[in-house]
Amino acid sequence: MASDDPTPERREIPERREITVRRAPKYVPFLILGGLVGIAVAAVIAYALPGNATYDPGTVFGFFMVLCGAGGVILGAIAALILDRLSVRRARQGVVEAVPEAGPEAGPPLPDAEQPGRGTDEHPAPGHRQDNGNEPGLRS
């Protein structure tokens, strides 16, 4: 019967999808950097600028650290949002196809394909020197 044939003549058409590719910033590093810049500004305000002698510089630093640190985190978030909006404008469209997994019906493997359980020492990649053990260097 034709339906029992293990190698059907027609192949499945791979699924095609249109995707959007863009580089979006990671928000956490921007928030951390903004907080650290805010803490540095608080240190400059507390220790480098002349202040009132009635307040301890450590107390002034703690007060301004909370204010400037929070402000720095907010400014870092705004910078990340601006960069995210710019990345949306630079987004590119692409088409991807699903690649079927190789199963038992996939046929014989290609001659250059790496076989499981077989080391790559027999055929090194082009331009790759194989270590014969006589040269100094790291040993595994």
4 part of a folded domain: no
Is the residue at 90 inside a domain? yes
| Amino acid (one-letter) located at 30 | F
Report the domain count for the chain. Answer: 1
- Neighbouring residues of 41: CB distance < 8 A, sequence distance ≥ 6: 64, 68, 72
CB 100 within 8 A of CB 12: yes
116 occurs within a structural domain: no
pTM: 0.55
Q: Which residues, 6+ apart, have CB-to-CB distance to 33 below 8 Å? A: 76
Is 125 a domain residue?
A: no
pLDDT score recorded for residue 19: 87
Give the structural domain span for 90.
25-98
Supply the pLDDT for residue 12. 65
Is residue 17 one of the residues assigned to a domain? no
* Distance in angstroms (rounded) separating the CA atoms of residues 81 and 83: 5
pLDDT in tens, 36-92: 999 999 999 999 888 788 888 899 999 999 999 999 999 999 999 999 999 888 888
pLDDT in tens, 105-138: 656 655 665 555 555 555 555 555 555 555 555 5
Full DSSP string of 68-97: HHHHHHHHHHHHHHHHHHHHHHT-EEEEEE
